[in-house]
Amino acid sequence: MQKSYHASNPGDTRQWFVVDAKGQSLGRLAVVVANKLRAKDVPTFDSSVDQGGFVIVVNAALVRLTGNKEEQKEYQRYSGYRNGLKRFSAAEMRASHPDRMIREAVWGMLPKNNIARKMMTRLKVFAGENHTHAAQKPVEIKL
């Protein structure tokens, strides 16, 4: 009789990946990052087990938006108070918080549960080319 295999949490042996966002389309970049966070490319993928690695995104300020999204795409934040809804265009978001554009795109591609909230803590986004995780020796992902 065959026994079924159940993947376990990798713990400290998680892989580190680095992705350069320079010139990449925001949506296509977010798909690659979300798949690495979920470990969908691993043969033992199980949606109920968090096996994904750490993902470092550099050059977040240079990510590309197609069409007229730079002016037309809107991001919203709500404080919970009356008149607390704030809207920003993608150009304003890029100028003030370019890392949030990538974080929100990746968050939209993950399931909304406790595992996804833990996955988001493993996403490290940097607006420039330098990052603080060189000691982990991340593997570069070519897009």
Question: pLDDT tens for residues 49-75?
Answer: 999 999 999 999 999 999 999 999 999
Residue at 50: amino acid letter: D
- Please count the other Cβ atoms lying within 10 Å of the Cβ belonging to residue 103: 17
Exposure string for 4-22, b = 16+ CB within 10 A, e = fewer? eeeeeeeeeebbbbbbbbe
Surface-to-core class of residue 35, CB atoms within 10 Å of its CB (0-12 exposed, 13-18 middle, 19+ buried):
middle
Break the chain into its structural domains and give their ranges. 15-63+97-141
| pLDDT of the residue at 81 | 97
Question: pLDDT tens for residues 96-120?
Answer: 999 999 999 999 999 999 999 999 9
- Band (pLDDT 50/70/90 cuts) for residue 7 is confident
> How much is the pTM?
0.91
DSSP reduced 3-state for 56: strand
Q: Superfamily for 15-63+97-141?
A: Ribosomal protein L13 (3.90.1180.10)
